[in-house]
Each structure stands twice: as structure tokens, then as C-alpha cells.
């Protein structure tokens, strides 16, 4: 059994997501982009899309539980932080914006991971 600490799990999950996007030809623009209003785990782009990605890494395998952790409040923080990112990087302002979630499941009995990518997982919230 390969038990990882919470920190190791978090770091590995984000690294796997970064590699996942890079293998698919996406450009990773930022990782752990932080501002006063919140944080975005990954900012990636294609030729036409600017994608703000929330990563949830879990050692228990409940998609429902993982997605519940991307609450309305969390979505609002990600949305506001994405505006800050675009304001700081106006060259990306004309790209289509979307908000994705990647859930990374860890299987300690085998020491491996599985990724579930949910494109357009939520709409931005700016209220």
C-alpha cells in the first residue's frame, strides 16, 4: 500500500493535471494563481480558449463529494480571480473563457491515479 500525505496527494494531483494538459497540446499559463479574492489551480489555453481549472484530488472515490467541494462560494471566488487574471493579461481577453474541474482519484492499493475532466463544469458567478 502506497499511502501519500495530504500535501503529497495535492502536489501530485496538480502535477498530473498539468501533464495531462501539456500532453494534449494545451499551453499552461499559470499554476496556483493567487489574488486577494481567491486562487485558481491552473490556467491553460488553446488557440481559442482560456480555461480556468479547479483540481480536486481524492483518495476516496466519490465524484459527488469532490464536486460538492466546488461550492457556489468557491465558484464565485474562481470567477472573480479569473477576471483579475484577464485584467493582468489583456492579451487573453478575446479568447473564449471556460471553467473546468478535474477530479483526480488516487488508488493507494495500486499506487496509481485516474483523472476525470469535466469541461464547462460551471458558469462564472459575478454577483
Structural domains in the chain (count): 1
Q: What is the pLDDT of residue 97?
A: 98
Indicate whether 48 belongs to any domain: yes
Quickly count: other Cβ atoms within 10 Å of residue 42's Cβ.
Answer: 23
CATH number of the domain bearing residue 64: 3.40.1350.10
**Distance between CA atoms of residues 76 and 46, nearest Å:** 24
Q: Is the pLDDT of residue 63 over 90?
A: no
Indicate whether 11 belongs to any domain: yes
pLDDT, tens digit (0-9, with 9 covering 90-100), for 9-56: 889 999 999 999 999 999 999 999 999 999 999 999 999 999 999 999
**Distance between CA atoms of residues 117 and 107, nearest Å:** 17
The whole-model pTM stands at: 0.93
pLDDT, tens digit (0-9, with 9 covering 90-100), for 105-126: 998 888 899 999 999 999 999 8
Amino acid at each position: 500500500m502506497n499511502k501519500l500525505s495530504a500535501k503529497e496527494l495535492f502536489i501530485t494531483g496538480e502535477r498530473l493535471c498539468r501533464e495531462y494538459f501539456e500532453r494534449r497540446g494545451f499551453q499552461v499559463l499559470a499554476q496556483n494563481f493567487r489574488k486577494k479574492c481567491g486562487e485558481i489551480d491552473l490556467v491553460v489555453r488553446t488557440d481559442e480558449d482560456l480555461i480556468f481549472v479547479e483540481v480536486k484530488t481524492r483518495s476516496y472515490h466519490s465524484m459527488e463529494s469532490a464536486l460538492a467541494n466546488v461550492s457556489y462560494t468557491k465558484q464565485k471566488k474562481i470567477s472573480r480571480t479569473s477576471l483579475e487574471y484577464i485584467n493582468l493579461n489583456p492579451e487573453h481577453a478575446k479568447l473564449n473563457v471556460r471553467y473546468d474541474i478535474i477530479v483526480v482519484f488516487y488508488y493507494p492499493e495500486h499506487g496509481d491515479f485516474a483523472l476525470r475532466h469535466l469541461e464547462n463544469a460551471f458558469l462564472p458567478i459575478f454577483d
